[in-house]
Structure 1
Amino acid sequence: MAIPTEHKTVQARILNYAQDIGWTVVPRAEAEARRGFDTAQAKPAERAKGASPFFVATLYEQVKALNPGFGESAAELVRRLASFPPGIRGNRDFLRALRGQTTFFEPHEVRERDLQLIDFDFWAGNRFEVTEEFYFHNGRDGNRADVVFLINGIPVLVIECKNATKDEAIALGVDQIRRYHAETPELMTPPQLFTATEAIGFVYGVTWNVVRRNLFNWKHEELGQLEAKVKSFCDRQNLLAFVQHYILFAEKESELQKFVLRQHQTGAVEKVVERAHHPAKRRGLVWHTQGSGKTFTMIKAAERLFKAPESEKPTILLLIDRNELEDQMVRNLEALGLHNVAPASSIETLNALLKDDYRGIIVSTIQKFRDMPANLNTRRNIYVLIDEAHRTTQGDLGNYLMAGLPNASYIGFTGTPIDATAHGKGTFKTFGIDDDKGYLHKYSIRESIEDRTTLPLFYALAPNELLVPTEVMEKEFLALAETEGIADIEELNRILERAVNLRNFLKGQARIGKVARYVAEHYRENVEPLGYKAFLVAVDREACALYKEALDAILPPEYSQVVYTGNNNDSQQLKQFHLASEEEKAVRRQFAKFGTTPKILIVTEKLLTGYDAPLLYAMYLDKPLRDHTLLQAIARVNRPYENEAEEMVKPHGFVLDFVGIFDKLEKALAFDSDEVSAVVKDIALLKSLFASKMAGATAAYLPLVQHGFNDKDVDGLIEHFRDKDRRKAFFREYKELEMLYEIVSPDAFLRPFMAEYGSLSAMYAVVSRAYAKRVYVDREFQRKTNALVQQYVDTTPLAPVGEMVQLDEHAIDQIKARHGGDETKVINLVKSIEKTAEDESDDPFLVGLADRADAVLEQFEDRQTTTQGALAELIKLLEENEERKKLQAEKGFDGLTFFIYRSLLDAQVAEAETVTRAIREAFVDLPAWRESEKALRDLRNKVTGAIFPAVEDVDKTVAIVDMLFNLLAKAYRI
């Protein structure tokens, strides 16, 4: 039966579909010639030496056509574009060049002019080409991208193709893209986008941001069809729109990061621009759920409006809801190359800017519109983009704004569902008046969770004795009409100040101590073992201080940190937790990092809106919130987080309710019931899911263990899970169970499942240790599961899998004499070879031996060899290694020197031993050759000098030196 190949099933189809939509397919040989490959050379690395990542002639022709007066030569142009430093900053500068934000000197006009690399106005005048097997070598490493799309000879998109028959095919494709960045960053400096596909899925992202949470599935109505996805994503105008508009760089936590707007964001931006230029309609509401990138959507809409010719030198007013975000918004706008940006630092400044007819982008808060004169500016090309529109324009402030700018266009942005109160309906009427559905563009919570833009939220109620009495909560909070639809946390605080009995209960000394102990225990047992962090939300600033003191008596003081706004009139108790601006920024940064303190932030108002820390998993809620304030607060924990180094994938956010607000969910969230059900769910659902999954897993897997995990069971498990698909299914099912167990535990509900779950965990231990690609698997178990495994199976013989053998002259006899089946011996022997190679990584022979052992294991897993055949092959490797060690000892060589000696013998170099000793001296003189490019160059020169007298032929000497260093690079994986 024919096996589908990567090229046939994916790569060739992509080229065909690209050709259908207007791309010219350039055969590989022609592409390499146009990039300057040396066709006289046979080896890829030699052929690619000095080759350009560009189609040089095409690039030069297009630049000359687009830039009258351009006088540089083709070589100078290529040198200029190749000079950007490989890395994210060079990639940012290259994007600026693609957008026409660099210049060239025009000698006839004696001035600098913008250098156009792409014609975005007359898009069809560009050259659109696509090629495959795009090889690049930087003198150290070489990589071959599957498919590359070029505009005017410049690579802008890289597609990595995988065979759909491979396990985790798309993940493997993304790993390839990561490797390109690490090994050949020069190749990845011009391209701005990448995708990975195995003909079914189609994942895309931007170069220099290959974190999994920033990779997205390209959505198309014809789901699962490669043709539809290629033809929509690779549409020439779509790619130009990405390059021109929808890729951005921003400083986040003092680090430059790159982002791409997703389909819901680009769709909203297009709608906003269209509405703003509409001759009659002047309002619109963009309704995108919390955490789906609303800020970047606003920024890009502002940029598009400012630069659009139809806007005719406009004024863009960006209204945000908090003063602390003004500086951040200005910095982000300037990072896009927008310099006509004016922060309105006061009411007077704002009035002056509008009265003086400022043309550019003004950043302000709604509060600065208080008492603004009517008809301050009556121009039509004023575009007002309002963040958190559900609350920003409520009351008199919205009236001042709209009276002061009567002819402006108003686009509201909201991240929460529109509530069912009069104010919520008013938001629809204010901004949705021109749309039948009440909104211009919507991206719902349900869509966001399906796309993993945000995560589902689960809640649990604290023990009854800690919850606010129902009658107090009802009388002083839920029954108050003024709390309905509340959208401003400052207004909420004023209401809570009058709720005397409620606040006294929440801040009772005995209760504070009990809640603090409960929080500390829950965090230590349920959150910290998973590696995540938490918020404790207190009713007011005094409660924050009380909780900090109580937690410090239970947890190390560095575990928690209070963050609130200080006041000069504060008591000494409150002042002790004041933070200077830079201190607070440092706390925010540290909290967002894995493995650092603080681990728990104690807050009451600050950080409950606008602060994104994906590592935040749990919220301990001890403050009555409802409607928008509740939704905005709990949305802090719904941000996706993935850490591949720690094997962490955040499954959802979690809220532990100490006030009882979730016991009255229909009152607490006055939104459409479909929206509420998508937002937050009772953790009891996870318990139900755990029970059903356990029933299936125990029936399917526990019968495989018949003898209490003795050596027969271990051998049986290794044989049963030799099949990769079977193993993959078991690992997936077990990991789902493990995550549910870690979240729910400790809970009495789990008691009936513990023995069976412990047995499944032991099975996973056996199988994963047997087939893991690494000798030691970090975080093999979550901590609570690990403790359970030790409790239930610490007396069972799990040790034989992964039990090491000393690789000496006794190794073969030890292996043969051991108890257990041949399956276990194969696994243990491979692990022993891998471990020895890891421990003695300076011996290239052992590194090569480990690679050969891995190949035997691969054949064993694929059933291309029998168990006895695999064991015989591994024993043969050990015998070869023993012979090698004896000869090496006779010569008095170390591992590296003997490796060189054998390589020179294979190359038939005369006087190989003498030459080897000379080369060894060169390695001793230059110990940094594996880290320093200069040391490597110097070493090659010395090695060449040592070999040439014995060979007396320049070409042959160069070939031997290349051969030797290629072998060393492979052995040392450099």
Structure 2
Amino acid sequence: MFNEKTVTEDGIIDRLKSLGGVKWTYCHGDSLPKKSQDIFVDEWLKEALCSLNPDLKKQPDYADEVIHKLRGLVLEAKHTGLVKANENFHEWLMAEKTLPFGENGDHITINLIDFDNIENNHFVISRQVHYQAATEAYFDIVLYINGMPLVVGEVKTATRPSVTWQDGAADFMGGTKHYWQNVQTFFVPNLLCFASEGKTFAYGAIHARVKDWGPWHRTEQRGDILPGLNAVLDSAEGLLNPQTLLQLLESFALFSSLKTGKDTPPKRIKILPRYPQFEAAKQVVERVKQGYPKKGLIWHFQGSGKSLLMLYAAKMLRSDNALNNPTVLIVVDRRDLDSQINETFGGADVKNLVQVKSCKKLGEYIEQDKRGILITTIFKFQDIEVDESQADGLNSRENIVVLVDEAHRTQEGGLGEKMRWALPNAHFYGLTGTPISGIDRNTFKLFGADEDPGRYMNRYSYKQSIRDGATNPVKFEPRLAELRVDQDAINEEFERIAQENNLSEDEKATLSKRAGKLAVMLKAPKRMKAVSKDIAKHFKQHVLPKKMKGMVVVYDREACVTMYHLLGKRLGFDAVEVVMNVDPAPRVDKEGKKNKDWLKWHDELELAIKPEDFERWQTLDADDQLQKDLIERYKDPKQPLQLIIVTSKLLTGFDAPICYCMYLDKPLRDHTLLQAMCRTNRLYETNEVHKGMGLIIDYLGVFENLRTALAYNPEEIDGVVEGIEAFKELLPAQLDKCLTFFPDVDRSVEGFEGIMAAQDCLSTNERRDEFAACFGVLAKLWSAISPDPFLTPYRQDYQWLAQVYESVRPVGQTGALVWAALGPETVKMIHEHTDIKRIRRDIDELVMDEHALFTLTPQEQEQRAKRLEIDLMGRLRGHDEPKFVELGERLEKLRRDYEAGVIKALDWLKGLLDTARDAVQAERDTGEKAVTEEDNKQALTKLFLETRPDSTPKVIGDVVEAIDAIVIATRFDGWQASESGPRLVQRALMVTLAKFGLGKDKELFDKAYAYIEKHY
């Protein structure tokens, strides 16, 4: 019989018993040398104590006293709570406790486990372990290490469709069994718990919520992992082998304080790593110890826990004696990320942690050889003066390890160069969720080691994180706010303004260019009113009832102020707040009057924004603690703050799982778009709420950019990095070309005399333009190569040229004066003739999950517009039958349109379905075979394989294969006329399309069914 014992329980035990290396010994629960009331197997624990502690071996009675103390520790759980008792026991497991059992009563460290030589420990796997406390329990699987039950597993049957691993997890978390409450003393020594129903496998720490349980795979497993016993046993072997368990215990079990609300005390929680964090942290430590290569790129998708990964790596580096007390420098690029990292590290009570407060302090710490973990922003390197003659920088120690968060941003410019000069022999590891592969700013060339495939040391994609339940899918709901612009009226009014103010053509062009920017349109009062009305309505109907919160992302700070007023009127001002950068400005002018130049708002909207609001936002921007307090209020479901309005702040480093919906009214691209949307992908679960998905309400059609934002091609990356070498060959000649503009100029002359001598060589506007164009090319080459040491001999000349360029660069003063005088009037005129047409809600939604259509494999991205030699088209045209000629031409046009970007992949598939249906019909009508073959490939597959453009997403091929699988599985003569045939086929098709997130696309369903219907 197939049941939980014979399938899941037997399978896991058999796999663990047969592991290579250090093995698990099997002992049934009935045969354990202990009573049902006992937690420890005293006999084994005493043996381990005497074996691992020579002083206890001399006096075995001392071992009994240790066991007695451990039993007392277990009983404390009733008073301190399970997590605190578990944390106290963990200190014993980590040999952090001493007792006076040495010679002359000296205190000696008590070792319960040998982490260095794991074969010195005793590993036993048991089943049906009986434990009797206030209530009775039979645990399915218990793993004992040195007589202590460190792992408990609950398994269920694999043959009942309604049973999942969550039913096993529920035995720990609640229900009638509720082990963590009813028999909590058994879990005081616990490292982890696991659950399985024979198809999937998950593990969690004590008191983990459902969202905190996770699978255990390997990051190299990129695709789908089919549920089944094989997958379960692979996970069990990967997690539950002795080596992994002891590594988790020694370096990865953390205890942290979690804030659950503004007015409630922090809650102590236990944290275990997910497997990508475990893998990558170990890789960092192993590479640092190996000494080469001295860098690595870790690419883990947004929301999958990079802050914790850095915490694990830092703690492991600090505790490794072989590294001789290293310095670990955590570098972030924004204050909000700095705050998040400090919160993560501080909550876990990390020792020797230093938050670097200033540029000066950072320089002092580096020069004074400060040890420990230092957290800083990249901007604190800006005051460090690079001295090329000082080859050792500020500190040439080898055991300095730099972990750079969001490594694709400012670390790649001059600040990153200063950091590398200051620490010439340090190890550099970049962590990012959104690397970009542009030549100007490239993560891979700085952190990616040549030795690593694809130039990343460890990669964990968004598909994997969603598949594993580490992050939520995100749904895009386009609600395009269409504008109606009276172009003729605007042109007429603009000419009137120009004539009345006697503007030259240049001045007219300047004014028109600035007034015609997208920002002016997006901030048109009628449009903002319509968008705010739509946000308020949607929020009240779809977000508030879910007891979650939202963010509003608008174009700029002025739009933040406007949206605050509009939403405050609709939702209440205690429900909304603005977080933005506010330029410092005097609150009073020289005459003592309030300065209102910086208190901008739309007169047209009659915004009743008070000066106190701006002062509050300015203070909030400058005070980290106030910003933390605001975020805590936002995270607290009991607090009235519901919506945060931002333009750039909090789009990174803002981790608020309660954030369910983002209202996006700002054009974002690439990594900025990904970072922003991932504010909604965090897991969130309470007794009342389960967030299964994040939501983006998109007022600008931003989601179209996701395809490129998620694109990644290792070959493209290699091309970029190889391109850097080519740039090195070009730079010296370009530098010389720039210098030829200044013959006979002594570049050692400083001050005004030196500048004047250079400017005399650029005596006409034409000559200045030529120099500016020439220097622009040089600057791009320099930026692409930086911070490579190759640049050192050219640095002095480049800096001289850069200063000359800045001294002659036009500043556009005339345009600024025109704008100051006429800008507000022009903008007001445009707003008067701009109206909101409608907010469209009829556009298909797009779900970014593990089956997302817009994701391309590296190979599929390689050539986006390459023309294919299509044999099938030739064959179709080779038939005399006009039907086949027409079909071939249709196919060629379809492919051409797709490659030209006229249609999207899904529309191309729909056209392909129509053509396949007609091709099958044509074969039936003519009796000639053109597309169906004896090799069992169906018409749709045949057409797809021979006509697909290179840029076709992989999932389109998967859909094609699935549709043709229905043809093969369900067709039989006359099924169309039978009573059940059409219903069965339609149901199979609906289920298939739904699996790819296409269940709501009626047109696709109709075309696919029409194609299937043509087969006999």
Name the SS for the 2:187 alignment partner.
coil
Aligned equivalent of 1:245: 251
- Name which of 615, 623, 634 aligns with 1:575: 615
- Assess if the C-alpha contact under 8 Å between 1:462 and 1:657 holds in 2: yes
Deviations 1:410-453 (A, max 9, x none): 111111132334212x5434543443421111112222222222
CA distance in structure 2 between the partners assigned to 1:175 and 1:306 by the alignment: 37
TM-score (norm 1): 0.62
Deviates more, 1:625-634 or 1:154-163: 625-634
* More divergent stretch after superposition (315-324 vs 222-231): 222-231
2:560 paired with 1:544: yes
- The residue that corresponds to 2:187 in the other structure is 188
Partner letter of residue 64 of structure 2?
S
User: Does the C-alpha gap of structure 1 residues 330 and 648 become closer, same or farther in structure 2, counting only changes over 3 Å?
Assistant: closer
Match of 2:356 in 1: 344
The answer on whether the counterparts of 1:520 and 1:551 sit within 8 Å (CA) in structure 2 is yes
Matched residues in 2 for 1:12 and 1:669: separation? Answer: 42
Q: Distance in 1 between matches of 2:450 and 2:565?
A: 51
Q: Greater relative contact order: 1 or 2 (C-alpha under 8 angstroms, separation 6 or more)?
A: 2
Q: Which residue of 2 aligns with 1:723?
A: none
Aligned to 1:73: 64
SS of the residue corresponding to residue 172 of structure 2 reads helix
The CA deviation at 1:143 is 2.2
Please name the residue that 1:82 is paired with: 74
Cα deviation for residue 20 of structure 1 reads: 2.1
SS at match of 2:250: helix
Percent of aligned positions that are identical: 30
Q: Is contact 2:480–2:700 with CA below 8 Å preserved after alignment?
A: no
Matching residue's letter, 1:552 = G
1:563 to 579, 582, 586: 579
Comparing 396-405 and 73-82, the one that deviates more? 73-82
The partner residue of 1:631 within 658, 674, 698 is: 674
Letter in 2 for 1:241: Q
SS at match of 1:598: coil
The match for 2:694 is: 653
SS of 2:452's partner is coil
Structure 1 residue 200 corresponds to structure 2 residue 184? no
Check the 8 A contact 2:580/2:647 in 1, yes or no: yes
Taking a change above 3 Å as real, the CA distance of residues 593 and 467 of structure 1, as seen in their structure-2 partners, is farther
Q: Secondary structure at the match of 1:186?
A: helix
Which digits, 9 at most, give the CA deviation of each residue in 1:8-47, with x for residues without a partner?
A: 223234333332231122232332xx33x2xxxxxxxxxx
Preserved CA contact (<8 Å) 1:386 1:392:
no
The structure 2 residue matched to 1:131, chosen from 126, 136, 141, is: 126
Identify the match of residue 294 of structure 2 among 264, 270, 282. 282
CA deviation map 1:139-186 (0-9, x unaligned): 3x2222111101111111101011123322422111111111122221
* CA 1:568–1:370: 2 relative to 1, 3 Å: closer
Distance 2:349 2:156 in 1: 38
Mark the CA change 1:418 to 1:310 in structure 2 (over 3 Å): closer, same or farther. farther
Partner of 2:99, secondary structure, is strand
Shift of 1:332: 4.2
Equivalent residue for 1:175? 170
Distance change in 2, residues 1:630/1:229 (3 Å): closer
Deviation readout 1:357-376 (Å, 9 max, x if unpaired)? 22222221211112425511
- In 2, Cα distance between equivalents of 1:685 and 1:519: 31
SS class of match (2:459): strand
The match for 1:300 is: 312
- CA offset digits 1:599-654 (Å, max 9, x no partner): 222122332111122232221112232222222111111223344x436341x322
Deviation of 1:284 (Å): 1.0
Of 156, 160, 171 in structure 2, the residue corresponding to residue 162 of structure 1 is: 156
CA distance in 2, matches of 1:287, 1:189: 36
Equivalent residue, structure 2, for 1:909: none
Gaps of 5+ in 1: 38-47, 471-496, 697-728, 753-974
Deviation of the 1:277 alpha carbon:
2.4
State the Cα deviation string for residues 637-676 of structure 1 (Å, max 9, x = none): 1223344x436341x3222223443455567778669999
Q: What one-letter code is carried by the residue in structure 1 that aligns with 2:27?
A: V
What's the CA shift for 1:596? 5.1
Q: Which residue of 2 aligns with 1:30?
A: 31
Q: In the aligned structure 1, how far is the partner of 2:31 from the partner of 2:482?
A: 77
Offset of residue 193 of structure 1: 0.7
Measured in 1, the distance between the counterparts of 2:105 and 2:68 equals: 19
Instruction: Tell me the equivalent position of 1:854.
Output: none
| Counterpart AA for 2:141 | V
Superposed, 1:756-775 pairs within 5 Å as: none
Alignment of 1:224-623 (within 5 A): 224=228, 225=230, 226-253=232-259, 254-326=266-338, 329-330=341-342, 332-333=344-345, 338-373=350-385, 374=387, 375-424=393-442, 427-465=444-482, 501-565=517-581, 569=585, 571=599, 572=611, 573-577=613-617, 579=620, 584-594=627-637, 597-623=640-666
Aligned residue number for residue 948 of structure 1: none
For 2:1002 and 2:546, how far apart are their aligned partners in 1? 20
Aligned residue for 2:1014?
none
Q: 1:299 to 1:189 in 2, by over 3 A?
A: same
Aligned partners of 1:685, 1:517: CA distance in 2, in Å? Answer: 34
Distance 2:283 2:298 in 1: 9
Relative to structure 1, is the Cα distance of residues 682 and 653 closer, same or farther in structure 2, using a 3 angstrom cutoff? farther
Query: Is the Cα contact below 8 Å between 2:547 and 2:689 reproduced in 1?
Result: no
Instruction: State whether residues 541 and 574 of structure 1, in contact with CA within 8 Å, keep that contact through their aligned partners in structure 2.
Output: no
- 3-state secondary structure, aligned to 1:266: helix
Structure 1 residues 285 and 498 mapped into 2: Cα distance closer, same or farther (>3 Å)? farther
**CA-CA distance at 1:456 after TM superposition:** 2.9
Q: Distance in 2 between matches of 1:557 and 1:517?
A: 15
The farther-off stretch of 157-166 and 431-440 is: 431-440
Whether contact under 8 Å (1:84, 1:91) holds in the other structure is: no
Q: Is the 8 A contact 2:127 2:141 kept in 1?
A: yes
Superposed displacement of residue 323, structure 1 = 3.4
Please state how far the C-alpha of 1:510 moved relative to its aligned partner.
Answer: 2.5
SS at match of 1:77: helix
Following TM superposition, by how much is the alpha carbon of 1:546 offset from its aligned partner in structure 2, in angstroms? 1.7
- Give the distance between the partners of 1:576 and 1:662, measured in 2 at CA: 34
Q: TM-score, normalised by structure 2?
A: 0.59
Tell me by how many angstroms 1:685 deviates.
12
Output the CA distance in 1 between the equivalents of 2:456 and 2:614. Answer: 44
Cα distance per residue 1:567-618 (max 9 Å; x no partner): 6536315225554655543442343345653222212233211112223222
Corresponding residue of 1:763: none
Structure 2 counterpart of 1:440, one-letter code: M
Counterpart contact for 2:475–2:848, Cα < 8 Å: no
Using the TM superposition, name which of 255-264 and 579-588 deviates more: 579-588
Q: How far apart, CA to CA, are the structure 1 residues paired with 2:480 and 2:374? A: 50
Q: How does 1:660-809 map to 2 (within 5 A)?
A: 660-663=701-704
Q: What does residue 208 of structure 2 align with?
A: 209
Distance in 2 (CA, whole Å) between partners of 1:246 and 1:499 is 56
The change in CA–CA distance for 1:647 and 1:403 in structure 2 (over 3 A counts) is closer
Q: Is 2:50–2:63's contact at 8 Å kept on the other side of the alignment?
A: no
Q: Answer yes or no: is 1:142 the counterpart of 2:136.
A: yes
What amino acid is the match of 2:294?
Answer: R
Q: What is the number of equivalent residue pairs in this alignment?
A: 661
TM superposition shift of 1:324: 4.6
Q: Does 1:103 align with 2:98?
A: yes
Q: Deviations over 1:441-471 (max 9, x none)?
A: 111222222222223333233334259999x
SS in 2 for 1:389: coil
Provide, for residues 394-423 of structure 1, a one-character-per-residue CA deviation record: whole Å limited to 9, x for no partner: 211111111111111111111113233421
Aligned equivalents of 1:423, 1:439: Cα separation in 2: 16
CA contact (8 A) 2:214 2:468 kept: no
SS state at 2:95 partner: coil
Counterpart-to-counterpart distance in 1, 2:252 and 2:514: 48
8 Å contact from structure 1 (residues 164, 198) kept in 2: yes
